[in-house]
Amino acid sequence: MAAAKKKTKAPAEARYLNRELSWLVFNARVLEEGLDPEIPLLDRLKFLAIVASNLDEFFMVRVGGLKLLAARNPRHRDFAGLSPTQQLDAIRERAAELVERQYACYRDDLEPLLAEAGIRRRRAADLVSGQRAYAERFMEDEVLSVLTPMAMEEGPPMAMLSGKRLHLGVRLKGKEADSPIRHVVIPISPALSRFITLPSSQDFEYILIEDLIAEFIHLFFPGEKVLECVAFRPTRNADMSVREDMAADLLSHMKEVLDARDISDCVRLELHASATQTMTRFLRQLLGVRERDIYRLDGPLDLSAMMKIAGLGGYDALRQEPWRPMMPVETPEGANMFALIERSPILLYHPYDAFEPVLRLLQQAADDPDVLAIKQILYRTSRDSQIVKALRRAAENGKHVTALVELKARFDEARNIDRARDLEHAGVQVVYGVKGYKTHAKLCMVVRREPSGIARYLHLGTGNYNEITAGLYSDVSYLVKDPILGQDAAMFFNAITGYSQPQNYEKLAAAPTGLRDRLLQSIDAEIEFARHGQPARIWAKVNSLADPALIDKLYEASQAGVKIELNIRGICCLRPGVPGLSENIRVLSIIDRYLEHARIVYFHHGGESRLFISSADWMIRNLDRRIELLVPVESAECRRRLTHILKTHFADTVKGRELQPDGTYRLPKAKKGRRVQSQLKLYEEAVTAFRKARQLETTVFEPHLPPKAG
């Protein structure tokens, strides 16, 4: 009898997609929206600006981290089997191709079309007489007074040029024949607008600040010959964090981290394509960059700045009609939030549903004499945050207010430092996060004295307490009064603010102590159902999937016959549709006008479906290095709505794309007459529900009653 063949595990490169390359594919899909001629011009320009902004953060954090890893541990392999150098090589190739497509779209397509539509960028050579005189006056009155040229010398790398700041590199020579050539750098201050509006009878015409300065550069250097003036923009490594175990004062140490970003290694140099080899060599030495880290761009540097042009007023015909968030039927305008939540749990799906009810809960809590305390986690907030104002007012009204302000929220550190101080001055008890972890959970608890005793009202969500992004990101809010969830929430706050040990919660699951285990156990349960011949199904909607343990467990579930559908917006390291590995897994990604940000998980569980919302993506950092929450949703109506949301997104055949085993995406096949654009469908449903509610309000009959006997 022949011996049974031992089943061998597929090599890493066959099982997993690389995280960084997966992210670049995601950003290429954002670019596809900018390339789409069916989308209005200013919205296309907005998507190009988003691509540029995404790349900035990618290079600052991911490429910066890989460069550090390549220097410290060059033999390290990621779980897809690639070394840091291999990843950097692949990133360079993919990023260069992406940027080339981005600039071709802007230069050859969008800019000419915008000019035809009345939004015209002028080069110096195109200025008419009145515009030229205006530009020269602007240069003399403002630019010369604000900007300061900095003399530079060739030599060791210098680290005084700020990252993400636009600069001009200038080569000069004096009048004398034997005068030496010298180099000067002009940092362009953010105090000056990038877009200088020019006088025009009808159209909006502008010149870029770097083009204006280059045209009148001689005003900076009278008596010298300008040999070259070219724009460049360094990107510095931002993958650094405070040593919390050595930080007696976290606030001051976070400031040191912010300062360090301005002098860290340069990981990318964006350089205008007109730069000579002489200037290129000088900048390489000045910034300490290799040739491979230089991106020569045939167009304006920093296209993320084009977000300002995309937001110009008076050009509504060039952008999509805005979708106004609807007031949910469950939370009528002005209604008391405590009474509404007492009646039944409320589930909101922003931005289709307005964020106002969440804000209203906090505002009413701040003024309610029966409210004793408010506890809240703040990760990212808006600049003029109404949430923060409500917490301040609550403290001033004598409530006990505790706010955990996460100082380590990347790129929001400075704002959160200001938030923490502002709240402290108002009498709020402020905690600066948890040592060694980022607190990313979305939780607010309002403690209220009621006739039946102390009650806890909870807001649990998938998104930040930020009124601005709540209108741009799709997120779930769950408002509930549940004694067990309330007890869990109280224990959770005690654990993260009071040095207590993480608890075993009855309903909640929290990272880093139990969230992954809860997910793995739930997947194991589906595997058992499938092995016993019962229907087994998993649906999950998260932003990223890059946790090897979860990926391997999903592979195991697929091989057991569990039907799995994943709605992953961005990074996905799982390879779907691989025979013998993942043929029962489908991955769909959606990019549309709203940023998909909600985290929703569904397990069929033998017909007794279990639904959760979460703050956590399925990534190592979220599950091991962050404080996150997984929240069960038990209300039948709320569960029904979450299921509908998932089904709607999985049916998207317009903005959805299916991930292929090789890491590429393709448009799903639509059934005849069944084209579905999930975001549009969900918005139309929200509008219909709102109008029906309004119609019912206006058609209520109110009888005339006889006057009361006197």
Predicted confidence (pLDDT) per residue in 620-667, tens digit: 999 999 999 999 999 999 999 999 999 999 999 999 999 999 999 999
Q: What is the mean pLDDT of the chain?
A: 90
In three state form, how does the secondary structure of 400-450 look?
EEEEEECCCCCCCHHHHHHHHHHHHHCCCEEECCECCEEECCCEEEEEEEE
What does the pLDDT average to over 529-556? 97
In the predicted structure, residue 211 carries a pLDDT above the cut 80: yes
In the predicted structure, residue 585 carries a pLDDT above the cut 60: yes
153-193+208-289 and 337-503 in the same fold:
no
How would residue 152 be classed by pLDDT, with cut points 50, 70 and 90?
confident
With CA atoms as reference, report the closest residue to 92 among 133, 49, 129, 63.
63
Q: How far apart are the first and last CA of the chain?
A: 106
Q: What pLDDT sits at residue 412?
A: 62
Q: Which CATH superfamily is domain 153-193+208-289 in?
A: Polyphosphate kinase middle domain (3.30.1840.10)
Using a 10 angstrom Cβ sphere, with 0-12 exposed, 13-18 middle and 19 or more buried, the burial of residue 22 is buried
Give 206's DSSP letter.
Answer: E
Amino acid 280 reads: T
- Tell me which of 669 and 537 has the higher pLDDT: 537
Backbone Cα Rg of the chain: 28
Q: What pLDDT sits at residue 244?
A: 39
Helix (H) or strand (E) holding 141: none
Residues above pLDDT 70, as percent of the chain: 91
Say what the pTM is: 0.90
In the predicted structure, residue 11 carries a pLDDT above the cut 90: no
How would residue 699 be classed by pLDDT, with cut points 50, 70 and 90?
low
Cis-peptide into 234, omega within 30 deg: no
- The residue ranges of every structural domain in the chain are 153-193+208-289, 337-503, 510-691
Least confident of 237-241, 284-288, 457-461: 237-241
Catalytic residue among 167, 272, 440, 597: 440
How would residue 171 be classed by pLDDT, with cut points 50, 70 and 90?
very high
Residue with tokens 């392999």: 77
In the predicted structure, residue 555 carries a pLDDT above the cut 60: yes
Under a CB-based contact definition with an 8 Å cutoff, are residues 266 and 293 in contact?
A: yes
In the predicted structure, residue 230 carries a pLDDT above the cut 90: yes
How far apart, in whole angstroms, are the C-alpha atoms of residue 523 and residue 539?
Answer: 11
Q: What is the pLDDT of residues 28-77, one digit of tens each?
A: 999 999 999 999 999 999 999 999 999 999 999 899 989 988 888 889 99
Cis-peptide into 112, omega within 30 deg: no
Q: What pLDDT sits at residue 435?
A: 84
In the predicted structure, residue 2 carries a pLDDT above the cut 50: no
How would residue 258 be classed by pLDDT, with cut points 50, 70 and 90?
very low
With CA atoms as reference, report the closest residue to 523 among 536, 513, 507.
536
Give 668's DSSP letter.
Answer: P
In three state form, how does the secondary structure of 545-599 look?
ECCHHHHHHHHHHHHHCCEEEEEECCCECECCCCCCCCCCEEEEEECCCCEECCC
Q: What pLDDT sits at residue 575?
A: 97
In the predicted structure, residue 247 carries a pLDDT above the cut 50: no
Q: What is the pLDDT of residues 68-115, one digit of tens each?
A: 888 888 899 998 999 999 999 999 999 999 999 999 999 999 999 999
Q: What pLDDT sits at residue 265?
A: 87
Least confident of 42-46, 258-262, 322-326, 332-336: 258-262
- Tell me which of 699 and 617 has the higher pLDDT: 617
Residues above pLDDT 90, as percent of the chain: 77
Q: What is the pLDDT of residues 474-527, one digit of tens each?
A: 999 999 999 999 999 999 999 988 766 667 899 999 999 999 999 999 999 999
Token pair belonging to 35: 């390339």
CA distances from 169 to 142, 268, 616 (A): 20, 16, 44
Helix (H) or strand (E) holding 600: strand 600-603
CA distances from 348 to 345, 629, 631 (A): 10, 18, 15
How far apart, in whole angstroms, are the C-alpha atoms of residue 582 and residue 559?
Answer: 7
Q: What pLDDT sits at residue 363?
A: 97
DSSP state string for 313-376: TT-GGGSPPP-PPBPPTTS-TT--HHHHHHHS-EEEEETTB-SHHHHHHHHHHHH-TTEEEEEE
Residue 595: how many other CB atoms lie within 10 Å = 19
Q: Is 183 assigned a catalytic role?
A: no
Least confident of 317-321, 642-646, 699-703: 699-703
Q: Phi-psi category of 125—alpha, beta or left, where left has phi over 0 and alpha has psi -120 to 50?
A: alpha
Q: What pLDDT sits at residue 79?
A: 87
Q: What pLDDT sits at residue 682?
A: 98
CATH architecture of the domain with range 510-691: 2-Layer Sandwich (3.30)
Question: From start to end of 101-148, where are the E strands?
Answer: 119-121
Residue 88: how many other CB atoms lie within 10 Å = 20
How far apart, in whole angstroms, are the C-alpha atoms of residue 666 and residue 686?
Answer: 29
Q: For 139, list phi and psi in degrees, rounded to 5.
A: -60, -45
How would residue 10 be classed by pLDDT, with cut points 50, 70 and 90?
low
Token pair belonging to 612: 């959760």
User: CATH code for 337-503?
Assistant: 3.30.870.10
Q: How far is CA 588 from the centre of its chain?
A: 19
How far apart, in whole angstroms, are the C-alpha atoms of residue 347 and residue 635?
Answer: 9
Residue with tokens 């799995």: 564
